[in-house]
Amino acid sequence: MDKRSLLIHLVTLTVSKLLPGVIFLAAIYEFHQALLLLARGEGNPYIELLASVNRARSFAFLLGILGVVYGIRQRELRRQAVHRFDQKLDELNANSLRAD
């Protein structure tokens, strides 16, 4: 594995392991805020939370980052698979030429 592939692997692995935990914690925080609003009796807490543009933007940003990381990792896996298949094909062709 070359340095570029290793760097991509480490970055995508780190982000893909950390971001779901961050999203989970953010969801717990939002649920907690909704319960507090509900306990105070200040209208419908879910509508107020969803109406917050900053919170919705933050969730969208985190999910977008996860999508980009997923795409980068899948592209790198596809490149590795193509490289491995090309090596096997070359090996098979070399073996078939020797057999002739």
Tokens of 45: 């807490």
Min mean pLDDT across 42-46, 72-76, 93-97 is at: 42-46
27 pLDDT tier (thresholds 50, 70, 90) = confident
pTM of the model: 0.52
For residues 79 and 1, give the distance between their C-alpha atoms in angstroms, rounded to a whole number: 12
72: nearest Cα among 2, 3, 5: 5
* More confidently predicted of 33 and 25: 25
Average pLDDT over residues 50-61: 72
Domain ranges of the chain: 3-99
In this prediction, residue 87 carries a pLDDT of: 92
Do 8 and 73 meet the contact criterion of CB atoms below 8 Å apart?
yes
HSE-CB for 92 with a 13 A CA cutoff = 6
pLDDT in tens, 64-89: 887 888 888 888 889 889 999 999 99
